[in-house]
Amino acid sequence: MAEYLKLKATDCKTCYKCIRHCPVKSIKFEKNQAQIVQEECILCGHCFVVCPQNAKEMRNDLGTAETLLKSGKPVWVSLAPSFAANFSGPGIGAMRTALKKLGFAEVEETAVGAAIVKKQYDVLVNKGEQNVIISTCCPTVNQLIQKYYPEALSSVAHVVSPMHAHGIDIKRRNPEVKTVFIGPCISKKAEAENSAAGMVDCALTFRELAQWLKKENIEIEFSKDVSAPGGGSPGAAGAEDNHTLERLFPINGGILRTMKKENREYTYLSVDGIENCRFYIEDVIRGRMNRCFIEMSACAGSCSVGPAMSKNWDAPVRNYIAVNSFAGTEDFPVFDYSAETLLKKFESLAPRKIYFDDEAIEGVLHKLGKISREHELNCGSCGYDTCREKARAVLEGKATLTMCLPYLKERAESFSDDIIKNTPNAIVVVNENCEVQQINNAACALLNINAHDILGDQVVRVLDPLPFIEAGQRQANSYNNRVYLPEYKRHVDQTLIYNKGNHIIMCIMRDVTEEEFMKAEKEEFNRKTIEIADRVVEKQMRTVQEIASLLGETTAETKIALTKLKESLSDA
C-alpha cells in the first residue's frame, strides 16, 4: 500500500500527540516509535500538523512532476482556488506566470471542475431519488465513510471530485495533455493515483509548490490580478473575471452557495471538521436525517485551512475572507457532461476488525492496575479517549501498556517508595525553606523520631541546618562528608543532593557509628601495642646496659689477675 504519510523514526519523542489527534486512531506504537497504519488511515493530515517534532513527513512528488515536464508532452496545472488563502495576494494571472516559469504549458483553476460537479449535485437533488446526499469533494470524508461507515455509502453522491472532473475536462479538450493538481490536501495524492484512466497524473501540495519555487528562485508577483482560471482556453468558454462563483468551494458552505437548491423538499447543510462529520454520518445511518443534502469537509474551516498549506493553515478566518473576496457571482460556463461520465462508485474499504470480549479487555486493564471502573481515569494521556479503547488497542498490537502515564507514574512512585522505604540509608528531603518534606524509616530510627512529628517542620529540629542552607545557596551536591551527631551519638557519612527542578535538597546518611567504634578500638589497640613495645624495648635496653656493665667489671678483674700471673712466671 502506498505511503503518503510516514514517520521520521529518529524524531519521534513518544508524546502520543499524533494518536491523541488522530480521529480514527490509525497509528500504532511499537519500539518507542509511532507508525501510521496505512490501511486504516484517512489521510486527514492531523498527525502531520500537530507533531511537535516534525516527525511526520508526507510523500514528496516533485520528482514525478519534473519527470512529466521532461516527457515532451504539454503539462497543465489544475490549481485549487484555496491558493488565494495560501499565497495571500497574487491572482490567477500571477500564479500562471510563476508556474509557466517552472515549465508548465497552461494553468487553470480547479474551480472549473467545481462548476461541473455542482451542476451534477443540482441534478441529483432535483431528481430526488436519494433521501440523503453527502457531497464527495473531500477525499478524506470519502475514505472516512468507506473505511469506518460503509453503511452510509448509499447516501454518498456518486460523483467525482472537482479535481477529477477538471482532469476529465482538460483531457477532453487536449487528450495528449498531462495534468498536475496543486492544492492544500494530502489525501488528494491518493485520489489522484486512484483516479479513473489517469485523469490526474500527479498531485502536489502548496508546500511542495513553495519548495519548488524557492529551489528555482522564482518569486510570485503579488498583484490585484483576478483573471479567469480558463485563460481563454477551450472549455473555459472565454470566461470573464466575474465567472468565479465556484472559487467558493474551499470554504465552509462554499458548495451550497454555488448550488441552485431548487428542490425545496431538501434541507441543505454544511458540516466541517471530522468529529462533526462523524456525528452527521452516524445520524444518517440511524435514520435521523431525512431529505438532506450535506456538504462535508474533513478540515475545520474546509480546504482553505488544509494540512498541506505552506502557510496560514492556522488562520481560518483570514483564509475564509481571502477566498470569499477572490470569488465572484457567476458560474463558469462549462461543458455539459453526462452522469455516466462523472460517475464514481464508492466501495467499502473497511479494515478487518478482530472482536475482543470484555474479559480480554479487562485482562489488559488489570495489568495496568485498573481493577474496577473507578480506576479507569479515561485521562487521554495515552492518546485514546478511554482506558478501554487503549486496552483494545493493546490487544490489536497498536499500543503498549507503558503508554499509560498514570500507570507509569504509579509504578515509578511505587518503585521509588520501595527503594526509599527499604534502603538502610537514612533519607531526609527538605524544600528550599528547610522544611522536611519526606523522611524514611531508616532516618526515623536514626534520629529516634516519628515521621508525622517532623514532616512540614524545620529540619533544625533534628539536624544541623547549615549544610542544607549551603547546598541550597551553592545549588551543588556534596558527597560522603563524615559527620558526628552528638545528640544521637552517631557518626554518619552525609551526602546532600540539590534537585534544581523540584527545588528540594535530599540528605542521605549512612550510619558509620559501628565503623567509627571499630576504628577507635583499633586505634586504642594500636596505641596499647605501641606502649607495650616501647616498654619491652626500654627493658631490653636496661638489661643490655646492666650486662655490659657487669662484663666490663669482669674483664678488668680478669686482666689484673692475668697480669699478676704473668709477672710471677717471669720472676721464676
Taking residue 317's Cβ as centre, other Cβ atoms within 10 Å add up to: 10
- pLDDT greater than 50 at residue 478: yes
461: which 3 cell numbers?
529540629
pLDDT at residue number 229: 40
Taking residue 221's Cβ as centre, other Cβ atoms within 10 Å add up to: 14
34 and 82 in a common domain: no
Q: pLDDT tens, 85-121?
A: 998 777 899 999 999 999 999 999 999 999 999 999 9
State the burial class of residue 407 (Cβ atoms within 10 Å of its Cβ: 0-12, 13-18, 19+). buried
pLDDT at residue number 571: 63
* Residue 481 binned pLDDT confidence (cut-offs 50, 70, 90): very high
400 and 309 in a common domain: no
Lowest mean pLDDT among 254-263, 286-295, 338-347, 549-558: 549-558
Interatomic CA distance for residues 532 and 529, integer angstroms: 5
pLDDT at residue number 178: 95
Among residues 250, 39, 98, which one has the least CA distance to residue 258? 250
441 and 400 in a common domain: no
562: which 3 cell numbers?
692475668
pLDDT at residue number 443: 92
Residue 522 falls inside a structural domain: no
**DSSP conformation letters of 340-389:** TTTB------PPP-----HHHHHHHHHHTT--SGGG-----TTSSSSHHH
**What's the Rg (C-alpha) of the chain?**
44
pLDDT at residue number 295: 98
Number of domains in the chain: 4
Among residues 78, 230, 104, 236, which one has the least CA distance to residue 164? 78
* Residue 315 binned pLDDT confidence (cut-offs 50, 70, 90): confident
319 and 291 in a common domain: yes
Interatomic CA distance for residues 510 and 514, integer angstroms: 11
* Residue 234 binned pLDDT confidence (cut-offs 50, 70, 90): very low
Interatomic CA distance for residues 474 and 477, integer angstroms: 8
Residue 342 falls inside a structural domain: no
- pLDDT greater than 80 at residue 413: no
Q: pLDDT tens, 427-451?
A: 999 998 999 998 999 999 999 999 8
Among residues 270, 314, 303, which one has the least CA distance to residue 135? 270
Residue 385 backbone dihedrals phi, psi, to 5 degrees: -70, -35
388 and 258 in a common domain: no
Strand partners, 181: 78, 203
Among residues 155, 422, 185, 370, which one has the least CA distance to residue 280? 155
DSSP run (H or E) holding 436: strand 436-439
Q: Are 137 and 161 in contact (CB under 8 A)?
A: yes
pLDDT at residue number 243: 61
257 and 132 in a common domain: yes
Rama region for 8: left / alpha / beta (φ>0; ψ in -120 to 50; rest): beta
Please, what is the average pLDDT of the chain? 88
257 and 179 in a common domain: yes
Interatomic CA distance for residues 245 and 332, integer angstroms: 7
Residue with the larger pLDDT of the pair 190 and 314: 190
561: which 3 cell numbers?
689477675
Residue 541 falls inside a structural domain: no
157 and 101 in a common domain: yes
102 and 29 in a common domain: no
pLDDT at residue number 192: 94
State the residue range of the domain holding 393: 354-422
pLDDT at residue number 410: 67
Taking residue 395's Cβ as centre, other Cβ atoms within 10 Å add up to: 14
Residue 56 backbone dihedrals phi, psi, to 5 degrees: -95, 140
pLDDT at residue number 139: 97
Residue 572 falls inside a structural domain: no
430 and 358 in a common domain: no
| N-term to C-term CA, the chain | 143
| Amino acid in position 252 | N
Mean pLDDT of 471-480: 90
Report DSSP state, residue 331: P
C-alpha dist (Å) from residue 239 to 249, 433, 447: 18, 78, 92
Q: Are strands 202-205 and 436-439 parallel, antiparallel or unpaired?
A: unpaired
Strand partners, 78: 108, 181
pLDDT at residue number 521: 83
| Amino acid in position 36 | I
Residue 565 falls inside a structural domain: no
Interatomic CA distance for residues 209 and 181, integer angstroms: 11
Interatomic CA distance for residues 381 and 368, integer angstroms: 14
Last residue of a domain, one of 59, 88, 109: 59
Residue 331 falls inside a structural domain: no
CATH of the domain at 35: 3.30.70.20
CB-side exposure of 74: number of CA atoms within 13 Å? 13
pLDDT at residue number 233: 38
Last residue of a domain, one of 480, 511, 542: 511
* Residue 197 binned pLDDT confidence (cut-offs 50, 70, 90): low
Mean pLDDT of 12-28: 90
Among residues 336, 343, 95, which one has the least CA distance to residue 235? 336
Last residue of a domain, one of 407, 422, 437: 422
This prediction has a pTM of: 0.74
112 and 166 in a common domain: yes
* Residue 324 binned pLDDT confidence (cut-offs 50, 70, 90): very high
Residue 291, SS3? coil
pLDDT at residue number 181: 98
Residue 382 falls inside a structural domain: yes
Residue 443, SS3? helix
Q: pLDDT tens, 40-71?
A: 999 999 999 998 888 888 999 999 999 999 99
Q: pLDDT tens, 143-157?
A: 999 999 999 999 999
Q: pLDDT tens, 361-404?
A: 989 988 888 888 888 888 888 889 899 999 999 999 999 888 88
157 and 68 in a common domain: yes
CATH of the domain at 474: 3.30.450.20
pLDDT at residue number 531: 84
Residue 531 falls inside a structural domain: no
